[in-house]
Amino acid sequence: MKPYQQVPIVESGEPLIQIPENYFLLESPHPYEKLGAPYDTVSPYYLREGVLAALIAAQAKLQDAHPDWRIYVFDAYRPVAVQQFMVDYTFAEQLKTRGISASHLTEIQKQQVWDKVYEFWAVPNADPAMPPPHSTGAAIDLTLVDATGEMVKMGSAIDELTSRSYPDYFAQSQQPLEQRFHYNRQALRQAMQAAGFQQHPNEWWHFCLGDQMWAWLTNQQQPDRPVMARYGRV
């Protein structure tokens, strides 16, 4: 169990709403669909109604400071079955990266790989009291694009399982390019936080609003005014 999973959920009942393409850039087909993730008839580009409203507000905040930049939505709603698929896929990719054969995997190696996977990926838990954040419709992975449609450089790829993905990894760098990475990450974070989102501690691209992680992070910042999660699994 991760710490945020201890936060109670009082379900709001808000529906999932499709993310409008006229506001944000979306990739089709979705990157995980290309890998074979089992979405069936469900679209990944949905969010809870209140979360989508906040995302639209974040876009406006972003463009106040950077008129030519737009939010690029990488991932949003993720059924538990897709979470399971991607966790298994990531585990297999980590084995390839480390040059380890699954048939010769020791228990120590197995635990080391799972520790790295779960540093970034939520457990695909079917327990409604501990849903993966993306399975609530309240978490979103995103980045930015500039006026030419090019991705704004952030210093690591979305879903990269290295310390470069930590939001403040480049904060103390004296290298001009890495300072730019940090500036770009800050621009994204400031726009999202101004709209009420919280950022995943290990991922510059992951933001949430109303789920257990959001409540857990919010409660650390304001322990005298605790909140509960309002979005459970859908």
Q: Is 150 exposed, middle or buried (0-12, 13-18, 19+ CB in 10 A)?
A: exposed
Q: Looking at 11, 21, 160, 203, which residue is catalytic?
A: 203
CA–CA separation, 178 vs 150, rounded Å? 18
* Number of neighbours of residue 196 by Cβ within 10 angstroms: 18
Provide DSSP, 153-195.
Answer: P-SS-TT--SGGGSTTTTTT--SHHHHHHHHHHHHHHHHHHHT
Token readout for 227 is 């909140």
* Number of neighbours of residue 146 by Cβ within 10 angstroms: 14
CA–CA separation, 212 vs 49, rounded Å? 17
User: Active site includes 33?
Assistant: no
CA–CA separation, 100 vs 114, rounded Å? 13
Catalytic residues: 203
